[in-house]
Amino acid sequence: MKELLIGNAAVARGLYEAGCSVISSYPGTPSTEITEEFAKYSDVYCEWAPNEKVAMEAAFGASLSGRRSACCMKHVGLNVAADPLFTMSYTGVNAGMVICVADDPGMHSSQNEQDSRHYAIAAKVPMLEPSDSSEALAYAKLGFEISESFDTPVLLKMCTRVAHSQSIVEIGERVEIKKEYTKNPQKYIMAPANALRRHPFVEERTKALTEYAECSGINRVEQGNGSYPFGIITSSTSYQYVKEVFGDSVSVLKLGMVNPLPVKMIRDFKDMVGKVYVIEELDPIIENHCKALGIKVEGKNRFSLLGEFSQSTIKQVFDRYEGPTYALDTEIPTRPPMMCAGCPHRGLFYVLSKNKLTVLGDIGCYTLGSMPPLSALDMTLCMGASVSGIHGFNIAGQGDTEKNTVCVIGDSTFMHSGITGLVNIAYNRSNSTVIILDNSITGMTGHQQNPTTGYNIKGDPAGKVDLEQLCRSIGIESVRVVDPYDLKECETVLKEELEKPCPSVIISRRPCVLLKYVKPRKPLFINAEKCKSCRRCMKFGCPAISYRDDHAVIDPTLCVGCEVCQQLCAFGAIESEGE
Amino acid sequence: MQTKNVMIVGVGGQGSLLASKLLGRLLVDEGYDVKVSEVHGMSQRGGSVVTYVRFGDRVYSPVIEDGEADYIVSFEKIESARYVSKLRKGGTVIVNTQQIDPMPVIIGAADYPDTVIDEMKSKGIHVDDIDALQLANVAGSAKACNIVLMGRLAGYFDIPYERWVDAIKKCVKPQFVELNERAFELGFNHQ
């Protein structure tokens, strides 16, 4: 059966067909849909773990136990899970294990542009890289075969464009795989004596995998018709752009496995075509491999290290780019993403901004609090860094910073890696004020459950971490809960906690306004006669409020009646229906 | 057949995902090779969103670049102008005249450029402007704007009307089929 699937759904289908029985992941754009799609199958186990390290170790446990398993994450998630990855390379697997990692060139939804292929090289594990949905499905299945044949975890590398582009796939049948678990301390206990014996195995495995890269057909040469005096080595979505521009007229070495890379195949290709261009997004991994072999290629001297490519990128290098047909003289204002109308984060950020506090931020929807007009954030680094960071900031501040500095972190991000930072604050006693923005969901990645929500990935009731009890048990004496829709309460509690000579946690609690169970209230409206055009409500940055004909107006299709703007208007001009 | 390129642009939350799903479903059923590309995540939070739909005998790249789009279907007025460099010479812009202020306009850092439709027309671009929000309300829900615009686009395609309706039935929940069929018809027949 033919289906039009996004790359991530195709990966999920491939994992399913290959008999994958357990997936444990942490959400992260552009990888999230793999796990969400897999969760729709009824005869498999699927979960959101608190973070990628836990997810990878859970998947490893499932493999050890004898079931094919997988875990999925975005590129920066692999940093978190790097610890188990490097040693799993030594232990190998029992049943097959596939690790899906999705890079985000162009940073559509990420804080950096790191290239995951470095991990495959560093951890000495094979990495497959599909170029469309059909390959995504095929490579997910192939990943398990390679994993079991070569006794290794296998990385499946996606990128935003492959992950989120739909193309046609052929759906197949599922197979069931179950391996016996047998105790094998020499293989699975990575204490020095055993690990010393496993390292040579890893090096031998890489040799065997290189042979596989040469002969298996995963890498292939597509012979051109001789129109061009050069050939192209490429992989992933760049392959599609090459074909878009050159069709079948140029010879292409299309790589499906990017670690380890073939040697003889590349030498033979060079001998066949003469001049070689390497076209790859981000870092020069294939190019450096060629250069290390002493093969002269054109690569990053012609193509950027930055961002996504497209057919235009290639046309520009080969002087075939014609440019835009139409251009307007009018400048179109930018339309950046923003917090939704009624977003519970907005009220709290308004209070932080009004009090001119230094705010160390974290990863989530609330990173949007950095945007004008609130401009409330000072720092965003990585998952959990707000909580660890404020501790160092206040220690170094020697008392000068702690009364005007807070950090903000979402419920899911706090579960991911905020807890350990808070333990450090409690243990080493910095007078830090931590605000947990508890909107009862993982918001930015599109509403995934987490350990604080009380529901699992399928929406069924699950364990629920009590944030207040958790913070107190760590050793935080002052734990307060506020409603971010109540500006006065937020400001009072915030000032009290900043004054206290001890660590404190403020939980700003209200569910995300986009959650289905959150029923919008009736939209508010502006009484034009009372509006004095002071524009104070515009400082709030609510997308439902705009300014027309010299007074504020509220868009009734966007307003959810949160009434926070009412608390800002000094003239009582913002009214509820029936007033 | 040479690859045809359709861009669907608008503001996050306007329902472009359903529109591209409908178009993708239809084109696969018609036997074309199809690629649809969209970006999820950060860009959905009220930001500018763009979806590429490409179809033909064999489609490679999932993205549409400068001078390549046969059609730009814009769910909001100025979003059509933001992507006009992507339009092919002689291409068509279908634009919903609805105005949604972006944050720089809301906070007074920029003005909303009200005259973009006239400017596009003055450059010789074929612009089909339509009040899709009003038609969607007539159909029964402001949310059906996306399907009104798909109805408008259908007028430029050689695919029979019933096939579009079949695709709608495959893409929306049974209780919303009637509403969306109405919205599609209003967009298709609007003078």
Q: Is the fold of A2-215 the same as that of A344-509?
A: yes
Look at chain A and count its residues. 579
Pick the range with the lowest mean pLDDT from A254-268, A402-416, B33-47.
B33-47
8 A C-beta contact, residue A434 and residue A422: yes
- Contact criterion met (CB < 8 Å) for B116 and A336: no
Alpha helices per DSSP H over A398-531? 411-413, 419-428, 467-474, 487-499
Decide if pLDDT at A578 tops 70.
no
- Banded pLDDT at B44 (limits 50, 70, 90): low
Decide if pLDDT at B41 tops 70.
no
Separation between Cα atoms, residue A508 and residue A438, nearest integer Å? 6
8 A C-beta contact, residue A134 and residue A168: yes
pLDDT by residue (tens digit) across A358-402?
A: 999 999 999 999 999 999 999 999 999 999 999 999 999 999 999
Helix axes B177-189, B145-154, angle to 10 degrees: 50
Other C-beta atoms closer than 10 Å to the C-beta of B176 total 18
> Does the structural domain A2-215 have CATH classification 3.40.190.10?
no
pLDDT by residue (tens digit) across A172-189?
A: 999 999 999 999 999 999
Residues of chain B with Cβ-Cβ distance to A533 below 8 Å are none
Separation between Cα atoms, residue A76 and residue A84, nearest integer Å? 15
Structure tokens at A118: 């470095």
Of B38, B39, B65, the CB nearest to A310: B65
Q: Rounded to a whole number, what is the distance in Å from the CA of B44 to chain A's nearest CA?
A: 7
Residue B17, chain A, CB below 8 Å: the answer is no
pLDDT of residue B22: 95
- Contact criterion met (CB < 8 Å) for A327 and B85: yes
Separation between Cα atoms, residue B59 and residue B37, nearest integer Å? 12
- Contact criterion met (CB < 8 Å) for A328 and B84: yes
Q: Rounded to a whole number, what is the distance in Å from the CA of A13 to chain B's nearest CA?
A: 18
The fold of the A525-575 domain, in CATH, is Alpha-Beta Plaits (3.30.70)
Residue B126, chain A, CB below 8 Å: the answer is no
pLDDT of residue B12: 86
- Banded pLDDT at B40 (limits 50, 70, 90): low
Q: C-alpha angle with apex A157: A153 to A163, nearest 5 degrees?
A: 135
The predicted complex's ipTM stands at 0.95
pLDDT by residue (tens digit) across A275-312?
A: 999 999 999 999 999 999 999 999 999 999 999 999 99
Candidates 3.90.1150.10, 3.40.50.300, 3.40.50.920, 2.40.10.340; CATH matching A220-317: 3.40.50.920
Residues of chain A with Cβ-Cβ distance to B87 below 8 Å are 325-326
Decide if pLDDT at A490 tops 70.
yes
The fold of the B4-189 domain, in CATH, is Pyruvate-ferredoxin Oxidoreductase; domain 3 (3.40.920)
Residues of chain A with Cβ-Cβ distance to B38 below 8 Å are 164-165
Residue B56, chain A, CB below 8 Å: the answer is no
Domain boundaries in chain A? Answer: 2-215, 220-317, 344-509, 525-575
User: Taking CB atoms and an 8 Å cut-off, how many pairs form between chains A and B?
Assistant: 179
Residue B119, chain A, CB below 8 Å: the answer is yes
- Across A524-543, b (16+ Cβ under 10 Å) vs e yields bbbeeeebeeeeebbbbbbb
Residue B49, chain A, CB below 8 Å: the answer is no
Taking the CA atoms of residue B169, residue B171, residue B176 and residue B182 in that order, the dihedral angle to the nearest 10 degrees is -60
Separation between Cα atoms, residue A31 and residue B40, nearest integer Å? 10
The fold of the A344-509 domain, in CATH, is Rossmann fold (3.40.50)
pLDDT by residue (tens digit) across A125-163?
A: 999 999 999 999 999 999 999 999 999 999 999 999 999
What would the mean pLDDT of A482-495 be, rounded to a whole number?
A: 98
CA of B13: which chain A residue's CA is closest?
A340
What would the mean pLDDT of B122-136 be, rounded to a whole number?
A: 97
CA-CA distances (angstroms) from residue B150 to B30, B83, B86, B92, B186?
Answer: 16, 18, 19, 14, 10
- Contact criterion met (CB < 8 Å) for B103 and A371: yes
Chain center to CA of A39: 18
% of chain A beyond a pLDDT of 90: 93
Q: Rounded to a whole number, what is the distance in Å from the CA of A83 to chain B's nearest CA?
A: 27
Q: C-alpha angle with apex A159: A153 to A161, nearest 5 degrees?
A: 150
CA of B44: which chain A residue's CA is closest?
A337
Residue B84, chain A, CB below 8 Å: the answer is yes
Of B11, B35, B91, the CB nearest to A335: B11
- Contact criterion met (CB < 8 Å) for A326 and B125: yes
